[in-house]
């Protein structure tokens, strides 16, 4: 059996953890957690190269948070949702701002990343309420 291993291809994953084509605020949350981890590692490091890398990855992942939030905002949520949850537009606006240049993209403060995560959590709660109602 082990001999066959040399000839049979083993599957190796290069997947995102989420199934494609499915809406889930977890996607924004994972990237926001990555942003928070980058900030923590940036603050804990004395290595200039590592810090540079942490900053560039943090900016990249902050953009991805925005992207995933925008997908939810513009593609998933429909007019009836915005009627039922009138705070949704403001929530998305605040959340995407928290991932932007005025938020985690520009800041190295862990508290900003926590605010972003809390905002995504609020959106997530509404998201799952709409799923349960559907």
**Positions in 18-57 near another protein (CB under 8 A):** 30, 33-34, 37-38, 53, 57
Counting contacts by CB under 8 A, is residue 10 touching another protein? yes
CA dist list (Å): 32 to 22, 26, 85? 19, 9, 23
Position 6 contacts another protein (CB under 8 A)? yes
Indicate if the alpha-carbon torsion angle 33, 38, 41, 43 is positive or negative: negative
Closer to another protein at the Cβ: 62 or 77? 62
Does 91 help bind another protein (rule: CB under 8 A)?
Answer: no
* Residue closer to another protein, measured from CB, 49 or 134: 49
Among candidate residues 39, 34, 38, the one with its CA nearest the CA of residue 17: 34
Measured between alpha carbons, how far is 107 from 101 in angstroms, rounded to an integer? 8
Smaller CB distance to another protein: residue 49 or 133? 49
Torsion of the alpha carbons at 121, 122, 126 and 128, rounded to the nearest 10: 10
Residue 78 in contact with another protein, rule: CB under 8 A = no
Question: In angstroms, what is the minimal distance from the CB of 78 to another protein?
Answer: 25
**37 vs 54: CA distance, rounded Å:** 9
Minimal distance, residue 25 CB to another protein, in Å: 16
Does position 111 bind another protein by CB under 8 A?
A: no
C-beta of 7 vs 78, nearer to another protein = 7
């Amino acid at each position: 059996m082990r001999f066959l291993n040399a000839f049979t291809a083993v599957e190796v994953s290069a997947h995102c953890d989420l199934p494609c084509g499915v809406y889930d605020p977890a996607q924004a949350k994972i990237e926001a957690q990555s942003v928070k981890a980058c900030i923590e590692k940036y603050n804990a490091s004395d290595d200039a190269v590592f810090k540079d890398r942490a900053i560039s990855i943090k900016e990249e992942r902050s953009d991805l948070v925005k992207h995933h939030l925008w997908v939810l905002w513009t593609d998933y949520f429909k007019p009836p949702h915005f009627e039922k949850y009138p705070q949704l537009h403001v929530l998305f606006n605040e959340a995407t701002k928290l991932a932007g240049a005025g938020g985690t993209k520009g800041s190295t403060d862990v508290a900003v990343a926590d605010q972003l995560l809390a905002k995504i959590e609020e959106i997530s709660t509404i998201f799952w309420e709409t799923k349960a109602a559907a």
